[in-house]
């Protein structure tokens, strides 16, 4: 196996995300759906370019059925702490979220959300995503607003362990 390429200097502030993360303690819910428990494998890798590639694969803990799938990239505006999350989901949603990275914390808010013309209702209107790392634990909390909800509401919360 070839050695990993050197980390591009532009993504050095995101180095704390790199690697494979795993969890079976995810909690999901929303006013329009029943609460659920899920597991997820989250991967952040680089190939020496000024971006990080990510993938997320979630499953329902009880039924083991696949849930959310997402792939994409994370970029930093050179010379700043401004970060962008570019993601495509298996449910027909594509999004661009932007925010900041500070130490081992990343805060993102959607500014562009696209969806399939034949995607199921409700329409996702806004997403806020927060990552925080503490030692070998990575926590993610996702808030959402849809065409059925007026307020931003917590949708997902999960803590991963580094593999």
pTM for this entry: 0.95
Question: Which residues are CB-contacts of 104 (< 8 A; sequence separation ≥ 6)?
Answer: 16, 132, 133, 134
Confidence band (pLDDT; 50, 70, 90) for 109? very high
CB 72 within 8 Å of CB 86:
yes
Cα separation values, 58 from 18, 19, 68, 152, 162, Å: 18, 17, 5, 22, 16
Residue 3: pLDDT over 90 = no
CA distance 83 to 71: 16
Say what percent of the chain tops pLDDT 70.
99
Residue 133: pLDDT over 70 = yes
CA distance 52 to 110: 18
Confidence band (pLDDT; 50, 70, 90) for 1? low
Look at residue 122 and give its three-state secondary structure: coil
- In terms of Cβ atoms closer than 10 Å to its own Cβ (0-12, 13-18, 19+), residue 83 is buried
Architecture of domain 9-162: Beta Barrel (2.40)
Look at residue 151 and give its three-state secondary structure: coil
Each residue's pLDDT tens digit, 31-72? 989 999 999 999 999 999 999 999 999 999 999 999 999 999
Domain residue ranges of the chain, discontinuous segments joined by +: 9-162
Confidence band (pLDDT; 50, 70, 90) for 2? confident
């Amino acid at each position: 196996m070839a050695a990993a390429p050197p980390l591009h200097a532009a993504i050095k502030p995101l180095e704390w995300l790199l690697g494979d993360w795993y969890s079976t303690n995810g909690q999901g819910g929303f006013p329009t759906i029943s609460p659920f428990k899920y597991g997820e494998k989250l991967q952040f890798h680089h190939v020496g370019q000024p971006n990080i590639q990510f993938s997320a694969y979630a499953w329902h803990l009880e039924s083991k059925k696949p849930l959310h799938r997402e792939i994409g990239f994370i970029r930093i505006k050179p010379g700043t702490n401004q970060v962008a999350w570019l993601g495509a989901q298996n449910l027909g949603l594509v999004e661009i979220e932007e925010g900041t990275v500070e130490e081992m914390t990343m805060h993102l808010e959607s500014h562009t959300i696209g969806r399939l013309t034949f995607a199921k209702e409700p329409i996702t209107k806004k997403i806020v995503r927060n990552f925080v790392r503490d030692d070998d634990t990575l926590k993610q909390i996702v808030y959402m607003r849809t065409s059925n909800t007026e307020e931003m509401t917590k949708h997902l919360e999960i803590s991963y362990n580094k593999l």
